Amino acid sequence: MNGDECILQLRGVRPSMSDKYDVTKHPLYQETGEYDDRNKLNIEKFIKQRMKFIKVEVYDVVKI
């Protein structure tokens, strides 16, 4: 199999040969972490986000 080809498998359809898609040609490629390290998700920072409470809203506190 050529390096520019792949086997495409979709549920309910027989596998078929297909050309690989060049992701660098996608219009939103510059927003990916592969394009720029600043776009990568920092999971530690994401998990440490705290919920910000608004004084006007009512919240239920549940002990887990």
Phi, psi dihedrals of residue 19, rounded to the nearest 5°:
-80, 145
pLDDT of 1 higher than 90: no
Q: Which amino acid is at 10?
A: L
* Overall number of domains in the chain: 1
Q: Identify whether 63 is part of a domain.
A: no
pLDDT band at 55 (very low <50, low <70, confident <90, very high): confident
- Residue 24, token pair as written in the block: 């660098």
Q: Identify whether 26 is part of a domain.
A: yes
Q: Identify whether 17 is part of a domain.
A: yes
Domain that holds residue 33: 5-47
Give burial (CB, 10 Å; 0-12/13-18/19+) of 6. middle
Q: Identify whether 22 is part of a domain.
A: yes
21-53 tens-digit pLDDT: 888 999 999 999 989 999 998 888 778 777 777
> Taking a C-beta distance cutoff of 8 angstroms, is the pair 29, 23 a contact?
yes
> Taking a C-beta distance cutoff of 8 angstroms, is the pair 20, 6 a contact?
yes
Q: Identify whether 52 is part of a domain.
A: no
